Amino acid sequence: MTPLLFDLYRIGSGLIVSQAQNELSRAAASGAFVVTAPPGTGKTTFVPPLVANLLAERAAHGASPENDLQAAGSPSRVILTQPRRVAARAAATRLAQLSGSALGEEVGVTIRGERHVSARTRIEVVTPGVLLRRLIADPELPGVGAVILDEVHERTVEGDLLLGMVAEARALRDDLIVAAMSATLEAARISELLGDAPVVEIPSVLHSLTIEHAPYAEPRLDARGTSRGFLAHLAQVALRSQRAAGCDALVFVPGAREVDDVVALLRSGAASQAPNELEILPLHGRIPAREQDRAVRGRGADEPPRIIVSTSLAESSLTVPGVRLVIDSGLAREVRRDRGRDMSGLSTVSASRASAEQRAGRAARQGPGHAVRVYSEAEYAHMRAHAQPDIASADLTDAALLLAAWGTPGAEGLALPTAPPAAAMSAAVATLRALELVDDRGHITPAGRSVALLPVGARSARALVEGAQVLGDACLAAETVAAISDDFREPSADLPRLLRELRTGRHPGAARWKRESERLLRIAAQATGTLPRAAGPAITIAATATAPGTVIALGRPEWVARRTGEHSRSYLLASGTRAALPEGSELASYEWLAVHEVQRAEGRAADGTGAVIRMAAPFDETEALKVARSLVTFERTASIAGGKLRVREERRLGAIVLTQAPVRAEPSDIAPAYTAHLRSAGLGALTWREGASSLRTRLALIHRELGAPWPDVSDEALLANLDDWLGPDLGRLRADSSLAGLELTQALRRRLPWPEAAKLDELAPEQLAVPSGSRVRIDYSGDAQPVVAVKLQELFGLAETPRLVNGRVPVLFHLLSPARKPLAVTADLRSFWDGPYQQVRSEMRGRYPKHPWPEDPWTAQATARTKRAQQ
């Protein structure tokens, strides 16, 4: 059978990447390969049909009958991923045009809410989320002969997971071809993940490019994000530069809101200067597909020049034909996470230098170009070299669910370009447990597996599916999830009011919300097996006051919140975070809220909490206890206050205390309470008698000199091991006891190592035998040396200073007068007898005549008595 082949000559005409056709074919034949190629070289256009042709030829020769669908009359399919829906649709449309077919025939596309494929489809363009769910449903990917992961340098969480999972899928399918493509890529690391795959490098086709800087005099960012003044300056620079260049221009801004704002500014400015001579178009993921296609298709010969205002999606994963001028804001939207408040979201930050280069290069892909950077050269120099991967700072809840469904909970055992942070992954798994999507071991539950296969995030999926079941109204659940899953810029945080405005069409985003509600309604119907009814305003919020709150709480049970006090606009969330409603919000009259969005804030707006509630709905305690049941705990808290043991029982919803009351102490309360008290108050709360203090200082000296196994007895070490050495004694205390009665000497002896403990008195004795026959206490409390304070006469004849701890530490003698006043301090007795002693003798013999002061201390008898007592 003659295989159906794409016309690579036609498709690759004018593309630099086509010059590497032979090298790419050899790399693809190896089973896995990596392509590094700058934007504009044509890798997305040329590599998929090249691989599709290879698969068709293999099928024609019977190379892989096991997984090919050739036997059924269809060749195995190439799956091409694009990180964004706009880019996926544009790539599929371009490939279909070049192959001479309609979209959905030889070339198809599947993205959220849109699918154009048929039995003839040989190349299917999808977003990473679509392919992830197909892999989880069936890791063997039946009917798929190749997977091409494009733009992997963008380092989205889904893209990183997909790379690791596809690499593992090759173990099941050694006939599966896998390729990773990128404009800027750490090729060595990706090659390693794909089994040391060959790397094909495509050279740049960049034409001459000039760079101009037009900085704004004020900061580009303010407390609300991108400043209005900067956006106005950006629009002025764009209009001025486009008039000078007379060509199509591409303006880069950080997010969809800025796109809409700059488009409005440009249209206003263009209308006042040259109406109908300039077309201003937005490009971001929230506009309808036809408007996206209009922006990326290029303009006809009879159409006016265009200024396209885009987010970073046009940076590398999407080529806008005809652009010779780029105006770059130098800003980007990146994931940031506030771990202390358990909040994450997109923040506007300075872009990386790599992004700035990619953006500027867009002006010189098809000819000489010009780029205007609306920031200074100094600001460019201070930009980060590269943006960090999303997995380093994103909320990993969705990722953790996909990993659990894949069979690698917490990513354990799965090779990824960057390992997820352990703390963030632990938090994500804990969230999934609260959502009842994984079990206590992090393994996926049946409900979790069902949710993982839905084309929405874990929180939204649970809110949608369970919301439809709990409320008995899939439409209301879909409408609520649609309202909270998009940015409708509702400053009041009032979800019920937002829903009313969306339903009645008074909100500018009503059409977009309706489309998303209908999509979610179909998903809910598929998941629950119920027939959907038409979405619309039939259900009123007044009839079900807490229904939207129930849907929110099903997705975020840890953000159920209760007001901190009457008439307060501050709330305590079950997660422990405090946040305030905006001033004047109607929601402030409700004691309970279900919160969907929280944002960091300072000053009066946050009411001293450090955060503001941006989206919430009324709730009540009864519903909270049902929906967030996994967070309900009963805690018995024992503490020491005023030296007495006090015990309280609390019923909590996460951090929210529902009820509390004092109760009688039980034996099991005592030890934990005193342990916690000591860890808070320190060891000074104990009564250290002489024996215990002496033992501790002796052990401290031995540990300092010999180390292990002799124990560290510092405050930090003893507190860290409190249960080991003091726990048994704390456990024997009664409710009316106190710490003062503890015998610490025996407790400390539990720290002694065995059998070395037998040498304690040899290494650091409590007393020192001196020539007079006395035994004198050794003081180990000093930081430097152990001290022996003894009458001078008791040491006559002693030449060598005693040394402790195996001879490592000399004793420091404090030589005393008969009245036990200090005469001298020495650690070298021989030198003292031979020198300073004579001066001491001359000064003391007249003052203490009853005591011996011999001229020769070497031959004198050591004594603790007077001369008469010696006779």
pLDDT, mean of residues 122-150: 94
Minimum mean pLDDT among 332-346, 636-650, 709-723, 810-824: which range?
A: 332-346
If pLDDT is split at 50, 70 and 90, which confidence band does 538 have?
very low
Please say if the pLDDT value at position 329 is more than 50: yes
Residues 640, 632: Cα–Cα separation, whole Å: 26
For domain 209-390, is the CATH number 3.30.565.10? no
Q: Which stretches within 610-721 are classed as H helix? A: 621-627, 667-681, 690-706, 715-720
Bigger pLDDT: 549 or 71? 549
Token pair belonging to 195: 């089994």
Residues 867, 871: Cα–Cα separation, whole Å: 7
Q: How far is CA 88 from the centre of its chain?
A: 28
pLDDT tens for each residue of 603-616: 788 888 888 898 99
pLDDT of 403 reads 95
Minimum mean pLDDT among 172-181, 315-324, 397-406, 502-511: which range?
A: 315-324
**What is the CB-side half-sphere exposure of residue 679 using CA atoms within 13 A?**
12
Q: What percent of the chain clears pLDDT 70, i.e. is strictly above it?
A: 92
If pLDDT is split at 50, 70 and 90, which confidence band does 489 have?
low
First-to-last C-alpha distance (Å) of the chain = 129
Please say if the pLDDT value at position 687 is more than 80: yes
Residues 490, 498: Cα–Cα separation, whole Å: 7
Question: Residue 750 burial by CB count (10 A; 0-12/13-18/19+): exposed, middle or buried?
Answer: middle
For tokens 């309706």, the residue is 514
pLDDT, mean of residues 592-620: 88
For residue 238, list its beta bridge partners.
Answer: none
Q: Which amino acid is at 26?
A: R
Minimum mean pLDDT among 197-211, 520-534, 688-702, 716-730: which range?
A: 520-534
pLDDT tens for each residue of 628-680: 888 899 888 888 887 788 888 999 999 999 998 988 888 888 888 888 899 98
Which residues make Cβ contacts (< 8 Å) with residue 572, sequence separation at least 6? 561, 562, 564, 578, 655, 656
pLDDT of 66 reads 43
Bigger pLDDT: 225 or 67? 225
Q: Write the DSSP string, 10-39.
A: HHTTT-GGGGGHHHHHHHHHTSEEEEE--T
If pLDDT is split at 50, 70 and 90, which confidence band does 2 have?
low
Please say if the pLDDT value at position 205 is more than 90: no
Please say if the pLDDT value at position 70 is more than 60: no
User: What is residue 321's DSSP assignment?
Assistant: T
pLDDT, mean of residues 842-849: 90
Fold of 8-201: Rossmann fold (3.40.50)
Closest CA to 659 of 671, 670, 667, 651: 651
Identify the H or E element spanning 462.
helix 458-471
Judge if the upstream peptide bond of residue 755 is cis by omega within 30 degrees of 0: yes
Bigger pLDDT: 543 or 593? 593
Residues 26, 472: Cα–Cα separation, whole Å: 57
Please say if the pLDDT value at position 264 is more than 50: yes
If pLDDT is split at 50, 70 and 90, which confidence band does 171 have?
confident
- Bridge-based pairing state of the strands 369-373 and 209-213: parallel
pLDDT of 71 reads 40
If pLDDT is split at 50, 70 and 90, which confidence band does 50 have?
very high
Residues 627, 2: Cα–Cα separation, whole Å: 60
Token pair belonging to 139: 């890791």
If pLDDT is split at 50, 70 and 90, which confidence band does 488 have?
low
**Other residues' Cβ atoms within 10 Å of the Cβ of residue 342:** 18
SS3 of 809-836:
EECEEEEECCCCCEEEEECCHHHHHHCH
Please say if the pLDDT value at position 123 is more than 80: yes
For tokens 């500014």, the residue is 265
If pLDDT is split at 50, 70 and 90, which confidence band does 331 have?
very high
Please say if the pLDDT value at position 74 is more than 60: no
Closest CA to 531 of 575, 460, 468, 596: 468
Phi, psi of 109 (to 5 degrees): -145, 140
pLDDT, mean of residues 555-560: 92
pLDDT of 533 reads 41
- The answer to whether 354 and 386 are in contact (CB under 8 A) is yes
pLDDT, mean of residues 726-741: 85
Q: Tell me the pLDDT of the chain averaged across its residues.
A: 87
- The answer to whether 36 and 185 are in contact (CB under 8 A) is yes
Which residues make Cβ contacts (< 8 Å) with residue 542, sequence separation at least 6? none
pLDDT of 535 reads 40
pLDDT, mean of residues 195-217: 88
Sequence length of the chain is 871
Minimum mean pLDDT among 311-325, 386-400, 527-541: which range?
A: 527-541
Q: Where are the domains of the chain?
A: 8-201, 209-390, 395-453, 553-629, 683-757, 765-870
pLDDT of 639 reads 86
pLDDT, mean of residues 325-342: 78
